[in-house]
Structure 1
Amino acid sequence: MDRGEWDRVDGELWQHSKFGVVRVSELEALGVGRKTAYRQCQPGGRWRYLLPGIVMLDRAPPTPRQRIEAALMFARHEAVVTGFQAARCYHLRTGPDPEFVHLLIPNRYRVLSSGFAVVERTVFFPRTVLRDGIPLAPPTRAVLDGVRRVRDLDVVRAVLIESVQSGLTDVAELRRELDTGTKRGTALARRVLNEIDLGVRSVAEADALEIWRLAGLPTPHCNSVVVDAAGGYVAMPDAWCDEVALAWEIDSNEFHYSKQSYAKTLARNSRYAANGIGVVQTLPSRLRTEPEAVIAELRAAYAVALARPRPPVHIKA
C-alpha cells in the first residue's frame, strides 16, 4: 500500500480499536493479514507490538491507558486491574510508578504473564469497580495487592497512610482484606496498620514511633489533643507520653520558614511551658542520621519528667 492508502486504513482500523490498541485476530477479521500486522511492527513499520497478539496502531511509546487496554485484551477472562496501576486510577499519588499492569483473573483460567502484563490467578476474585471504563479491583484490594509486592517499608508506609488519610479506604477494611485474602507478602502491611492504629499519619511519624520504641518508653499516643485542667486546648503533639506528661514534636525546618508558622510554634511551646509539660523537639532528618542521640534525648527528658510532679493535663476524650 502507498502512504495514502495506509492513512485511510489506519483511520478505519482505529475505530475498531481501544485507544489505538487492537488484537491481531480483530485485524484479521477486518482484512489485515497476521503477517502484515506483525510486519508493520518491525523497524520502519507504522505500528508497535505490545503483547502477544496485541498491537498498537502507532509507533509512539504507549500511554498508561494504552498499556492497560493491551493488558486487559491479553488476559481476557473477566480480568480486573489491581495494584499500583489501579491505585493511580483511584488518584493515589504515593508508591512507585507502575512498571507493569497487574491483573487479576479467576483461578479457573490459565493465562501466563507476558511483558508488562502481570497476570495473577486468584480464588479471592474481587467485585469489579468501573472507573473511566477500566475494570478495577476495589480500592482496598488494589492497594494491598500493590504493597504486598514491595519490600521497602517506607513505600508501604507512604501508600497505606495516604490511602487511609485520603479516605480511599480505612484500617478496618484493610485488616478485613488481609484476614480474608492471601497472606503472602502482608507482614509489612500489618506492621504499618499497627502504626496507623497508634495515630501515625506520615512516614516521619512512623520513623519517630520506631525511635520511641527503641528508647524503651511507654507506648505513646500519637496526634492526640492535650488539654489543661480546665479543658483548654494546649497542643496536639506528634507523640505524647501520658504517664509523665511528656510531648515530642517532630519539627521540620521547612515548617519554620514562614513567620506565621514560626509564631504558632512559639505559642505552642509557651503553652507547654505554662502547663509544666516537658517537650522534646527533633528534626525529621535526625531520626535516621542520629537515632542514638535522639534516643538519649528522649530518655533524658523522660527521666526529668518522671522526677517532677505530673502536671494536671490530660488527653481530650
Structure 2
Amino acid sequence: MTYNPPLTPRPPHEVAGAGRPRVMTTAQLRSHGVSAAEANGQCRSGGPWQQLLPGVVLLHPGPPTSEERLHAVLMYAARERATAVPAQPGAEGPHVAAYPEAMITGLAALTLHGFSCTPPLPSLDVIDVLVPRLRRLRSTGCARIVRTPVLPAPEQVTGLPVAPVARALADAVAGLSDAVVVRRLMTEAVRGAHCDPASVVRELTEARLLNRPHVLDAVDSLLAEGRVIAEDRLYRMVRAFGLPDPVWNVDLRLPGGPYLGGLDAYWPEQAVALELDTRAPRQDDDALWSEYARKREHLERLGITVVHITPRKLRDCPEQQATVIRTALMASADRDPAAHVVVLPR
C-alpha cells in the first residue's frame, strides 16, 4: 500500500500567486493544502475568489477571460478524472493540459478552429463541451453538456482539446434554427478547407439532423459548393502535374445506342475516364453507389478505364492522384483497343 502525504498547507493567497493557474478545481486546491472550508470562504461575496462552476474556482475577483472560461468548462466536465493542473495562461512550470473524456465543441470549437462567421468567444453565453453519453453531468452556468456514444479523437487547438470541425459543426447546427446562419457555417467549412462535405453530412446524419428542412437545404448547397471546389482542384491538378488535357464534363453514348453516363473528364485517345466521387453518406447512398458501380462495369466492359477520385484525396494528396491518372494513361498502350463511343458535351 502506498501513501501520498498531503502537501504542506499553503495560504490561499500563495496558491493564487503570480505564475500559477488562475482556474482550479476544488480537488486541485486540496492537493495544494487549501481545504473546502477555506475555498468557500475565499469565494464569499466580495472575496478574492469566485466559484465559476460547481467544483471549479476562479482565483481572482474580476470577470473570467475567454481562456479561463474554456479551461473552467473542461475542468467541470473532466473533474471526476482529471488530477493534473492543466497549463493555463500565466502559469509556469511543466503542467499537463489533460482533460480526459471532455472536449470543446459547437460554436466555441468552430471559433477556435478559425471560423470567421462564428461569434467571438467573449460573446458566447455558453460553451458546449462534448462528453461520453454515460457521464453523470448536467449543463450549468457557462457549460452546456453535449453527449455522444463515442467520443471522436480531439484536436489540440491553442493547447485545448477541441472536437474535429465536422463534429463541432453538427453540434452547433443542432442548436440553430436560422437557415442563413446554418448555410453560412457549412459554406465556410468547405470553402475554408476545414473539412470535406462528406464528413459534414456523415456527422449530420448520425446526429439525425437531416430531417430538418433548413438543414437539408443547407446540405444541398454544401454538396454543390463542394463539387465546384473539387472540380477547380481537378483542373489545377491536371495543369500543375503536366497531364495531357482531357475533354471536360462530357456524356458518353454508343453510336446509335444507349447513354453510357456522364464523366468529369475523358481522355479519348487513351480511353481513360475520370469521375469525381462526390457521394455523401445519406439515405440513398447504397442506391447511388450501385449506379456508380453499374456505370463503371459497363464502361470497363467496353475497354474504358475508369478512375474514381474523391474530393478529399484531391485536397490532401493531388500529386498521388495525378500519378494514378498518368499510370492509367500510360497503361492504355498495353490494352486492347476500346469500343468506339460518341463523346458529347454536357
Same fold (TM over 0.5): yes
* Alignment-derived partner of residue 183 in structure 1: 208
Contact residue 190 and residue 225 of structure 2 kept, 8 A: no
Q: 1:125 to 1:6 in 2, by over 3 A?
A: closer
- Consecutive aligned runs of 4 or more in structure 1 exceeding 4 Å deviation: none
Residue from 86, 104, 107 that aligns with 1:84: 107
* Alignment-derived partner of residue 51 in structure 2: 49
* Deviation for aligned residue 1:50: 0.4
2:190 corresponds to 1:164: yes
Q: Percent identity?
A: 31
Alignment gaps of 5+ in structure 1: 202-315
* Alignment-derived partner of residue 33 in structure 1: 35
**The residue matched to 1:119 in structure 2 has which SS?**
strand
**The residue matched to 1:73 in structure 2 has which SS?**
helix
CA RMSD, aligned part only? 2.4
Letter in 1 for 2:159: G
Residue from 115, 125, 131 that aligns with 1:105: 131
Contact residue 190 and residue 197 of structure 2 kept, 8 A: yes
Letter in 2 for 1:183: R
Alignment gaps of 5+ in structure 2: 1-10, 79-99, 228-344
Q: How many residues align?
A: 194
Contact residue 148 and residue 189 of structure 1 kept, 8 A: no
Residue from 11, 16, 24 that aligns with 2:17: 11
* Deviation for aligned residue 1:186: 6.1
Q: 1:78 to 1:199 in 2, by over 3 A?
A: closer
Letter in 2 for 1:60: G
Superposition map of 1:1-317 within 5 A:
7-11=13-17, 15=20, 17=21, 20-76=22-78, 77-96=100-119, 97-179=123-205, 181-184=206-209, 187=212, 188-199=214-225
* Deviation for aligned residue 1:39: 2.0
* Deviation for aligned residue 1:200: 9.7
State the distance in 1 between where 2:125 and 2:136 align. Answer: 23
1:28-66 deviation line (CA, Å, top 9, x unaligned): 221222122122222221112100010111112111111
Contact residue 197 and residue 226 of structure 2 kept, 8 A: no
**The residue matched to 2:17 in structure 1 has which SS?**
helix
State the distance in 2 between where 1:43 and 1:78 align. Answer: 33
Contact residue 95 and residue 155 of structure 1 kept, 8 A: no
Q: 1:186 to 1:103 in 2, by over 3 A?
A: farther
* Deviation for aligned residue 1:9: 4.2
TM-score normalised per structure 1? 0.56
Q: 1:192 to 1:45 in 2, by over 3 A?
A: same
